[in-house]
Amino acid sequence: MSFITLGIAFTAIMFTLIISPFFIWLNRRLSIVDVPGREPHKQHISPTPIAGGQVLVSTLLVIGLVNGVLRLPEIQPILLPAAVVFIFGLWDDIKGISPIWKFLGQLLASVILIYSGLQVLLFSHQWLNYLITILWLVGITNAYNFVDSMDGLVLGLGGLAAAFYVLVTYDATQLSLSYLSLIIFGASIGAFYFNSRPAKYFMGDSGSQLMGFLLASIAIAYNPVGFEPYVSWFIPILLMAIPIFDTVLIVFSRLRRGTSIFKGANDHTYHRLVALGMDPNRAVLTMQIMAFLLSSLAFISLPLAPIYANLIFAGVVLIGILLVVYLDFSKSWTTNDSQSYKN
């Protein structure tokens, strides 16, 4: 396994590093760029290619085909719905589409995934399983799209989640999911070199949504062996806790102020950490360190008795709620509150 792991990770990293300059050139040539000032919350100073999604999907296709990962039965149900999410995201990167169209694309992808046989199986009533599956897929897809508020952030969070998925799926003997997670991990490292501040290209909706949908799908396919289901149910939530937290913060804050949930603004977790006095790079690093700690906590919780594991999870949820309230009512934030929705 160690040789296969190193081989897949190495080839994914190297391939991403090699193809990135080509996609930077191609997107500039085709004018698929994020122009400064196109939206009020855009703060970059020069036109930047939106190539991240194309780089990610190219690495998945080529490395997945070369290593045979995409031909594995456990992976095939994910491919078509992931392609749907990517296409709708790319459409938004090129033309700019309304949130309803993006939602319809995510909904279509979720239905295809369910039809392919991959869904949450928690309840005796099938319609509840369908509902939870759609809510999870759409929610996590949008969570990674929302959290993509600074260079390198979504790749760091997605790469960390993928790395931990390599471990939990390997432990569950679901090697096909481990291999897919490895490709995502390797692609994230390679793309991070170009997406870190100041970014040479942005991930765009095609990249951030694809990352979220893939990780959400792996979470559904993950079937832990030898652990209490009353413990393992919240492991994917902790592995993707930071994007989930950011989404909860945004929804709570904007509903409280009566503003659109889907309108871009400088009110994400990253922006609030900077408002509290953090350096931009340190704010990104803080979120990534917290993601690592929470993912580690998921591993620590796995072998515990259900009551202790769920108490830990409940503690994390409580701290998260308190942080949402603190960040949204903080004087450092509320002082610049109205300006944050205009800039």
Beta strands in 112-230 (DSSP E): none
Q: Which of 320, 196, 165 is CA-nearest to residue 246?
A: 320
Mapped onto helix, strand or coil, the DSSP state of residue 50 is: coil
Residues with Cβ within 8 Å of residue 213, at least 6 apart in sequence: 81, 82, 85, 106, 109, 137, 140, 141
Orientation of helix 204-221 relative to helix 76-94, angle to 10°: 160
Mean pLDDT in residue range 263-283: 87
Q: Is the pLDDT of residue 333 over 70?
A: no
Number of domains in the chain: 1
> Is residue 211 a contact partner of residue 60, using CB atoms and an 8 Å limit?
no
Mean pLDDT in residue range 109-125: 91
**Domain extent for 124:** 2-340
pLDDT in tens, 82-111: 999 999 999 999 998 889 999 999 999 999
Give CA torsion, residues 324, 206, 116, 130, to 10 deg. Answer: 30
Mapped onto helix, strand or coil, the DSSP state of residue 117 is: coil
Q: Is the pLDDT of residue 343 over 50?
A: no
Question: How open is the CA angle 134-319-151, to the nearest 5 degrees?
Answer: 65
CA 37 to mean position of chain CA atoms: 25
Q: What is the pLDDT of residue 338?
A: 41
Q: Is the pLDDT of residue 43 over 80?
A: no
pLDDT in tens, 237-257: 999 999 999 999 999 999 988
Q: Which of 263, 262, 161 is CA-nearest to residue 213?
A: 161
Q: Is the pLDDT of residue 300 over 80?
A: yes
> Is residue 19 a contact partner of residue 54, using CB atoms and an 8 Å limit?
no
Orientation of helix 153-171 relative to helix 204-221, angle to 10°: 20
Q: Is the pLDDT of residue 69 over 70?
A: yes
What does residue 50 show for φ and ψ, rounded to 5 degrees?
A: -105, 70
